[in-house]
Amino acid sequence: MPDYGVVDREREKQVAADAAAELVRDGMAVGLGSGTTTEDLLPALARRRLSIRCVAAAPHIEREARQLGLIVDPFDSVDHLDIAIDGADQIADDGWLIKGGGAAHTREKIVAAAATEFVIIADSTKSVPALTPPVPVELMRFGLAATMRHLGPVTLRDVPPSPDGGVIADYRGDVGDPAALADRLSALPGLVGHGLFPPEMVTLVLIGRGETVERRNLRPASGQPENRPVLP
Ligand code: 5RP
């Protein structure tokens, strides 16, 4: 067994992305998340020369995918995706995720929720025993100060607004009970989206470990059996 004492994150991201590209089949509608691991997915997907249509959670992913010859449709005319593939910032042992390091979590969650299968790709540094702060959030500019007061410990991120005009911030309070926190954040007026993704949303996690891929199956695919070509 080779000694992977120093994690080659780039290589691990690539092996996870390659494994995810292999799950895609001809005819599928594919959701693309964002982040560097998703960027590694794009050439692997393009190389397969499949007949697929994609939607993208971020404008730069849409551009990169098109440059590689992938067909990307606007996501206002596609009502269902067969599979969505995306990265993550933290993957806890209980299956909860934190996403939004790249500030695209609101759109990424919409893409994930539209898909029968939601597959996460990551290097091994993203695997954690339990989630830790911060949790990215997207807030409406209207009433921003009042929303932040209700939210609790939060810092504004020095990044441009989301493509939908949202203000990106990081919630820095306790994340010990992700389900309770997700409920509280979801119920807060002025909060457009948060980066907590529940295990029920995720079908499969692919984590690069050295040259191998660790597979964590979470929920069963939500589609009808004939629409479940992805997972064994
Ligand atoms: C962007 C995300 C990304 O998927 C997450 O930040 C992981 O990024 P990377 O693959 O670059 O490590 O949620 O909003």
**What is the predicted pLDDT for the residue at 70?**
98
CATH of the domain at 8: 3.40.50.1360
On whether both 100 and 9 belong to a single domain, the answer is yes
Question: Residue 182 C-alpha to ligand 1 middle, in angstroms?
Answer: 19
**What is the predicted pLDDT for the residue at 226?**
44
Choose among 81, 101, 77: nearest CA to 91: 101
Burial of 53 (C-beta count, 10 Å sphere; 0-12/13-18/19+): middle
d(CA 188, CA 147): 8
* Ramachandran angles phi, psi of 175, nearest 5°: -120, 20
Residues of the chain below pLDDT 50: 1-2, 224-229, 232
On whether both 46 and 109 belong to a single domain, the answer is yes
Atom of ligand 1 nearest to the CA of 104: 14
In a domain, 161, yes or no: yes
**What is the predicted pLDDT for the residue at 225?**
43
On whether both 100 and 141 belong to a single domain, the answer is no
**What is the predicted pLDDT for the residue at 218?**
86
**What is the predicted pLDDT for the residue at 127?**
98
How do strand 81-86 and strand 97-98 relate by DSSP bridges?
A: unpaired
Question: Residue 225 C-alpha to ligand 1 middle, in angstroms?
Answer: 30
In a domain, 184, yes or no: yes
Segment 50-105, tens digit of pLDDT: 999 999 999 999 999 999 999 999 999 899 999 999 999 999 999 999 999 999 99
DSSP-H helix ranges across 69-165: 105-113, 144-151
Pocket flag, ligand 1, residue 89 (CB < 6 Å) = yes
On whether both 201 and 93 belong to a single domain, the answer is yes
d(CA 80, CA 116): 8
On whether both 182 and 111 belong to a single domain, the answer is no
CA 36 to each of CA 40, 122, 138, 148, 191: distance values in angstroms, whole numbers, following the listed order: 6, 10, 20, 29, 26
**What is the predicted pLDDT for the residue at 5?**
61
- Give the domain extent around 17: 4-128+197-215
Pocket flag, ligand 1, residue 124 (CB < 6 Å) = no
